[in-house]
Structure 1
Amino acid sequence: MTLIFFRSSASQDQPSFFLSLIYHLYKLIMDSFMNLAKQGLAAYESSQSNVSKTGGSKYNSPDNRPQGVSRPSFNDDEVAETAAQHGSGHSGMFSQAMSYVKSNTQEHEEPIDEEHVTNSHKEAYERGNGGSLSAGSMGSAAALQIFKQFTSGGGSGGSSSQSELISMAMAEASKLFDQSGGASSGSKQDAVNGAGMMVMKMLVQSKMSSMIGGGNSGGLGGMSSMLGLASKFM
């Protein structure tokens, strides 16, 4: 753009005055634009920072599950001895089950098929047809049976009850296997492994559920019934 100035005979300094005025106006406008740009950038960075806090690695795990959930801590020898005292089998079988449960941590957060577990429980304990179940399903049914027994008996909850819970669930699975004449597939060890894993899954997922707002949150939807039982032992 070309600016044309007309000199006034009254003042030879008038052009320089206007040039100075235009320069300062231009500088003021540019400063205002720069400030607005800086404010916009700051607002954008702030919004991105908040997103990283609420949707970052802490919460952006599969099914919106928080990462790094602590697992229940067990004394394996104590659990195995208690299970052997109340179950059908030697302590080595229950020790092996605890090793299986602890080494397969990826299974702890896999969604529980509540319908399958409750149907297996009915088949074994209401219809007396446990032998039709696979060893793994038999173990899950035994675990649910112990959860029901503990909660109906008003268990004290806490870590000591967690140890007793997994001990008795594995013991129940060993007895159910024998009483049913075996399973449709799988071994007695598989049944005991399944019971121990089901207890661990229910305890871990109950804790995750409480952290993210209840049993119907994220990938844990529809689990309120079984996780409600497990929450009594947290």
Structure 2
Amino acid sequence: MYCVLGNPIRHSLSKNIHKLFLKKNIYFKFRINVLDIYKEIIEFISNDFLFNITLPFKETTIKIYNYIEKKNVSFNVVNKIKNTLFGYNTDKSYFRKIDKYLKNSCIVGLGGIGKTLVYYLLEKKINFSIYSRNNNKIKKFSKLINKNLKLSRTKNIVDCTPCILKNHVPLKFKEKINLISFNYRNISLYIKHYNILRIKDGVNLLIYQAYKTFKIWKNINIKNFKSVEKFLKFNIRCTK
């Protein structure tokens, strides 16, 4: 059995995507109380669930794994092999597809996906900067990775925050911007508040995450990528 754990979880389309990929209704989503996350995970593991992890647990669950991918602090896929737990991050599979849009970008937000993106850009030697209201968070992360992160703002914005899920934008920008968001809901909010030259939303991130997840779990070869993309764009009614 498969599932996704998070809080909030109602907005998640993971169940829909996995059902399309698997052609079976064997994927579920569960809202987990922050205080009960480790207790719940142990229960899911004991019942032989394979699961995805989403906000706000992608970083805090690092303690549960026996093995993790290098150069990562955020994990969204759990695999169990012979009572050994492996933690994976599938975001990078999408970053590779949008390399050219990430050059000279400004990362807004240093949560799980923001930190993963920083690791990726450093590894690929792609120029970027950070913009955040919380300078202490940037300093702590800079110390952790032993790098001095550049603090500035450019017109190429990458929103790594969940702000629009809470019906507000992360920062105010008067200038024209190119925007990448890893969110796939409420995209029209950006259009309302920003002067946007180009926007890429998180629909394809969601699909690539599912695609990579299946390869980790079952080595399933996904052939109907386009049909899933079409389904998502229709149901989310996102703006490209």
**Bigger share in helix:** 1
Higher RCO, 1 vs 2 (CA within 8 Å, ≥6 residues apart): 1
**Bigger share in strand:** 2
Q: State the TM-score, normalizing by the size of structure 2.
A: 0.24
Who wins on radius of gyration, i.e. which is larger?
Answer: 1
